[in-house]
Chain A
Amino acid sequence: MNACSFVLLTIAAISVSACDYEALDVDRRRSPRGQSSADVENDAGAAALDPARCGGKVYTDFDGKSLVAQRIQALPNVDRGRIKPYGALAGEYARVLGKVPESLAGAASTYGPAPERWYEEPQASGITVLSAFEVAFDGCLGHTETDAKYAAMPEPSTAAAECTAMARKFWSRMPSPSEVDACVAVATTGTASEPQARRKWAYACAATLTASGFLTY
């Protein structure tokens, strides 16, 4: 086959395909963080790419079944979330709190280190979430121990402002109103039995640090 024929065949192969790759490229440029599946569905240009609509030759396995028969139709930008591995947490806590909580080192085995010379995608468990909250609380106690703003009891208005600021810092994005409300609830009603203002703020800080906005990426 000469070069000219190859180019013509390539152009023909691309032309035969009915897949809308332009729409896919648009979606790949979007940031996935914080988008709900509803947001993605409503995005202009976020056309669902149905594999069944892709034309062209059907390639089969040794058993005669199509190689793409098991391919599922997935929305772009969905299922991009991943859990931060334990090895990244020290740097992450230091980034947002200024120092690594002392209890983090003792929690290493809780997160199940991968065998040597191997990698396992981190999975969360109830125990890791509980441990994460304890570590976060430990770190937040230091975060709230000196600043004058934490000396006053949290009120709905002050808690909303501080929760927004903490979420922005910890999650690298602005929180939604419902997320702020959840944090405010922790700071005010959730800590009703806690007499000390700074510890109340520490609980709100720990809750924000235990949310997926910080523990995942």
Chain B
Amino acid sequence: MSRGVSRRGFLKALAAGTGAAIGTRVAGGAAGWIGEARAATDSASAVVLLYLTGGFNELFVSPDGLVGKFSIQPGGFTALANDVFIDNTWGNALSPYAKQHLAVIGCRHGTNGHEIAQRALWAHNEQNAGLVLADAIGGSAPIKAAVVGSGLNVNTIMSPYKDISFQRIDDMQATINALGGGRSNPRLPDRAIALAGIGGAQAMSQAHFASSPKSLVSADQAYKVAIETLKTPTKPFSFTDLAEAYGLNATAVSSFKAKFAAAELMVRAGTNVVAIFDNDVWDSHEDPSGTGDRNRMTGHVLGPMNTFISRMIENNPTQNVVLCVMGDFGRDTTPLTGHTIDLSAAVFGRFVKVGSTGRVVSNGYQKNPGPGVAQLWSYLASACKAPTNPFGANPHPLVL
């Protein structure tokens, strides 16, 4: 049994009848039992956003409306429950669990411009919607929002929200070190003294931040996060487990699969919202066969995505993790495969009910346009069971 948890305490907790009452949690295959210190920073909910910059072709999640387009033959797609259909690339790759926990969420933002769509999809009342969601989920983790690797979309609102900002994670080992400490090396600072040292550095930087409140906003936020991280009880993590699961041989978040591994790390560390930006050629013009999008999806996305769904949604009973796949907009079905003005997002989660509010018609546009950006984020807040939902009512009846 883990340290600090007696047999009597364990049996009492079981008798309480709720898994959350155990107080510790199994971190999948990463670290086994973790002591009580972890409970102080647990976040039960987390949302991971896989943002395909440029567009997310609706052929993957509404092929039934696109017969004759994008190389889709009658019946040439995979049927799920509740009249939901997915492209065979997804049908052949997704696990049975993923197919039983997928919803397609329609969102009409009304614009076919990349920068405007990117800003619109990430905005809520002039704030970054991801940060608003991170705040709503709550918890006491020092890093409540993170972006893994490069590609942070600068068209999104970059300002912090209630001192929450997207912390960029570029190296998993450095992050593990920061979260877990415990390295024995006389040339490393003592963690408690480092807290005082960085606190002093922060104090020595205040005048500079005051004179550059915008250009140095990330630095201002960074000191706060560093201090909070050092104040938080340490959590041991193992890169070895992540490396094996995602097929990595380096700790740098420099590949797509490394981004998903880093997302898993951050969710386990208690981060509420993790953003993964993929800047491949998802703005797939002149691809009427859909070949390019399918190749990109099968080439580097589906593998790590499946691993993440298996480890973090299917086999992670003490966290409610939601994965949302989205992009600027869908593609129209003209020979130039231009931009639509709406989006069919794919959402996976333990409490996601199979269904679709994002069906499209033959031109690639939403069949029943209506709900907008706020409603998409409202759905995500509902699906992850956030304590509060700042985005208004959720019109998508696809939450268990």
Contacts and interface: CB of A to CB of B under 8 A. Distances in A.
Interface of A: 32, 34-40, 77-83, 103, 107, 109-112, 114-115, 120, 123-131, 133-134, 137-138, 141, 167, 175-176, 178-179, 182-183, 185-186, 189-191, 193-194, 203-204, 206-208, 210-213, 215-216
Contacts of A204: 197, 200
B184 interface: no
Contacts of A178: 203, 206-207
A136 B253 CA distance: 23
Nearest to B212: A81
B189 A206 contact: yes
28 contacts: A39-B211, A78-B211, A78-B212, A78-B213, A79-B214, A81-B212, A82-B216, A109-B170, A109-B251, A112-B150, A112-B170, A112-B253, A124-B218, A124-B219, A125-B167, A126-B178, A126-B222, A126-B226, A127-B170, A127-B174, A133-B226, A193-B190, A193-B192, A194-B190, A203-B193, A204-B200, A207-B201, A211-B208
Given A110-B174, A125-B222, A193-B190, A133 B211 contact: no
List the 4 closest pairs (A to B, CB-CB), nearest first: A126-B225, A190-B196, A81-B212, A112-B170
B31 interface: no
A168 to B, nearest CB: 13
B168 A123 contact: yes
Contact of A182 (B171, B194, B203, B224): B203
Interface string B134-176: 0000000011000001101000000000000001111100110
Contacts of A193: 190, 192-193
Majority secondary structure of chain B interface residues (helix, strand, loop or mixed) = helix
Contacts of B197: 133, 137, 186, 190, 203-204, 206-207, 210
Contacts of A81: 208-209, 211-212, 215-216, 219
B178 A179 contact: no
Contacts of A194: 190, 193
A123 B253 CA distance: 16
Majority secondary structure of chain A interface residues (helix, strand, loop or mixed) = helix
B204 interface: yes
Contacts of A141: 187
A212 B205 contact: yes
Contact of A125 (B169, B188, B192, B201): B169
Contacts of B149: 112
Contacts of A77: 211
Contacts of A109: 170-171, 174, 250-254
Q: Which of B169, B198, B223, B228 has the most CB of A within 10 A?
A: B198
A112 B174 CA distance: 12
B210 interface: yes
Nearest to B170: A112
Contacts of A183: 200, 204
Given A178-B207, A190-B200, 17 more contacts: A79-B213, A79-B214, A81-B216, A109-B171, A111-B170, A124-B218, A125-B222, A129-B223, A130-B174, A130-B177, A133-B189, A141-B187, A175-B204, A190-B197, A207-B198, A207-B200, A212-B204
B229 interface: yes
Contacts of A207: 196-198, 200-201, 204
Contacts of A114: 150
Contacts of A78: 211-213
A126 B193 contact: no
A35 B207 CA distance: 7
Nearest to B223: A129
B212 A79 contact: yes
A25 B25 CA distance: 62
Q: Which of B194, B200, B218 has the most CB of A within 10 A?
A: B200
B159 to A, nearest CB: 13
B214 A191 contact: no
A115 B150 contact: yes
Contacts of B201: 129, 133, 182, 207-208, 210-212
A42 B304 CA distance: 56
Nearest to A122: B218
A199 B359 CA distance: 64
Contacts of A210: 197-198, 201
Contacts of B223: 126, 129
A127 B251 contact: no
A82 B215 CA distance: 6
Interface string B89-108: 00000000000000000000
Contact of B204 (A120, A128, A182): A182
Given A103-B187, A109-B170, A109-B251, A213 B212 contact: no
Nearest to B203: A182
Contacts of B211: 32, 34-37, 39-40, 77-81
